[in-house]
Amino acid sequence: MGKDSVQGESYENRADVPMEMLAEGNCSLILSDVRFRDAGIYESYLVVGQSRVKNQILIHSVRLAVVDHKHIQSVESGKDLILDLYTNQAKMLVFQQEGTPEWRVLWQRGQDSGGERWVEERGRKLVVREVVTSNSGTYRVVDEEGLTLSTVKVSVTGSVATTGSEVKEKQISLDSGKVDAPSLCLTVVLFLSSHALIHLP
């Protein structure tokens, strides 16, 4: 609406059509901090006609799919494992040791870890300090709804000896339906840390 714009409640501070692009005839929508609930169909319309009689002309339609990050990582025993959080949506890090069915909580946003300081949050990353062979397995970062934002399969190599007792972790059972990323029809793939540029000519 001229220089004014209105954003939907769940898109506040995340959706933008830059005026400098619009002045050149490009009405592409930039969607930041993409999340699973953003998946769906986006359509742009040109509104024409007088004040009382207006018509909407479809310009473009895009089906957006959102998927989680998947990585395989190898780290030497005794060194730190660094995991990207990608987004502020990250609420919890869970771990499944190789060969076991259980998932354990290693980190939760906003909760004090007490004396267990071997997992640290540093900006947009988590650091698992001085890993050992038993740290091999699958690491998942999930959001507040239990949906997987990233999955990293980690193998610990080398034979560096460790000292001291291993830190005991709180064990939880996770509903597999909530841990796995939703199955979406993939047309446009976006990573959660990226900006989505939906080109609407």
CATH code at 154?
2.60.40.10
Q: Which helix (H) or strand (E) holds 179?
A: helix 176-179
In this structure, are strands 196-198 and 69-76 parallel, antiparallel, or unpaired?
unpaired
**Domain assignment of residue 165, yes or no:** yes
pTM of the model: 0.65
Top mean pLDDT of 16-30, 39-53, 95-109, 184-198 is at 95-109
Whether residues 48 and 79 share a domain: the answer is: no
**The token pair that represents 41 in the structure block:** 């169909």
**Does pLDDT of 179 surpass 50?**
no
**Domain assignment of residue 154, yes or no:** yes
Closest to 132 in 3D by CA, of 154, 115, 116: 154
Rounded distance between C-alpha atoms, residue 201 and residue 197, angstroms? 12
Whether residues 85 and 138 share a domain: the answer is: yes
**The token pair that represents 200 in the structure block:** 């609407």
Whether residues 62 and 74 share a domain: the answer is: no
Whether residues 22 and 119 share a domain: the answer is: no
Whether residues 167 and 77 share a domain: the answer is: yes
Whether residues 33 and 79 share a domain: the answer is: no
Whether residues 153 and 192 share a domain: the answer is: no
In terms of residue numbers, what domain contains 126? 69-179
Whether residues 85 and 109 share a domain: the answer is: yes
Helix ranges restricted to H, 8-73: 19-22
The mean predicted confidence, pLDDT, of the chain is 78
How many structural domains are present in the chain?
2
Whether residues 61 and 84 share a domain: the answer is: no
Region 61-86: what's the mean pLDDT? 93
Quick check: 82 and 74 in contact, CB under 8 A? no
Structure-model confidence comparison of residues 70 and 182, the more confident one: 70
Sheet containing strand 29-31, strands side by side: 15-16, 29-31, 196-198
Whether residues 35 and 133 share a domain: the answer is: no
Q: Which helix (H) or strand (E) holds 178?
A: helix 176-179
Whether residues 87 and 169 share a domain: the answer is: yes
**Domain assignment of residue 3, yes or no:** no
Rounded distance between C-alpha atoms, residue 165 and residue 135, angstroms? 14
Give the model confidence (pLDDT) of 107-131 as tens digits. 998 876 544 568 888 888 999 999 9
**Domain assignment of residue 160, yes or no:** yes
**Domain assignment of residue 26, yes or no:** yes
**Domain assignment of residue 37, yes or no:** yes
pLDDT category at 101 given cuts 50, 70, 90 is very high
Cα dihedral across residues 146, 148, 152, 153: positive or negative: positive
Q: What is the pLDDT of residue 53?
A: 81
**Domain assignment of residue 51, yes or no:** yes
Whether residues 76 and 170 share a domain: the answer is: yes
Rounded distance between C-alpha atoms, residue 49 and residue 70, angstroms? 48
Region 6-13: what's the mean pLDDT? 86
